[in-house]
Amino acid sequence: MLWKDGVPELEEIKQFTPNKQRLISGPVAIIECFQEIPCDPCYVSCSFGAILPFENINALPQIDFELCNGCGNCVALCPGIAIFVVDLSYCDNSALLKLPHEFVPLPEKGETVSLLNRRGEIVAKDRVIRCVKFKDKTSVVWVTTPKELAMEIRAIAPKAYEIENPLRELV
């Protein structure tokens, strides 16, 4: 439960998730912002109008998934690292994720990295496709992952983390 251990339940996540048809049609941003706080950089960053105007500065962001092209501009500007992009159309077996990453060193293109779920557990290892480093914003790392894990993975482990937290057995 989100308010107890910081990890949202499936029902809490569903309110922020596009339908399956939208997920398979191309890249789309997903905003898992659960707390009403004064914040709106995602709205300001979206030049496509996909992130809707806020009712007030404390409102939770709302996204029109049909207007979103998955560019990822909002990922880099979210101070809460609560936005990521999922592309289930990437290829037959793999999805492409655009994930915020605030650790150094930044992974490099072609590098294999450990991918974490919302609980911080390593659930897969996969390949970095691209790294976008911004001077004063969060970096965005593009990684591939098995499609079945695309909605579970939310972060890339810093290199030192892998030693103490091995890949958990996938059931």
- The pLDDT profile of the chain, 171 residues, written as one tens digit per residue, is 565 666 777 777 877 899 999 999 999 999 999 889 999 999 999 999 999 999 999 999 999 999 999 999 999 999 999 999 999 999 999 999 999 999 888 999 999 999 999 999 999 999 999 999 877 889 999 999 999 999 999 999 987 666 556 665 544
pLDDT of residue 102: 92
Q: Which domain holds residue 48?
A: 2-164
pLDDT of residue 169: 55
**CA trace torsion 2, 122, 148, 18 (10° rounding):** 30
Q: Is residue 169 part of a domain?
A: no
In the block, which residue shows the tokens 């009403």?
36
Q: Token pair of 111, please?
A: 């590098």
Cross-strand partners of 168 = none
DSSP state of 93: S
pLDDT of residue 171: 41
pLDDT of residue 135: 77
Cross-strand partners of 161 = none
**CA trace torsion 141, 146, 148, 153 (10° rounding):** -30
Cross-strand partners of 116 = 122, 155
Reference 152, options 128, 118, 120; nearest CA is 118
Q: Is residue 171 part of a domain?
A: no
Counting the structural domains of the chain, the total is: 1
Residue 142 φ/ψ, nearest 5 degrees: -95, 125
Q: Is residue 170 part of a domain?
A: no
Q: Is residue 54 part of a domain?
A: yes
Q: Is residue 16 part of a domain?
A: yes
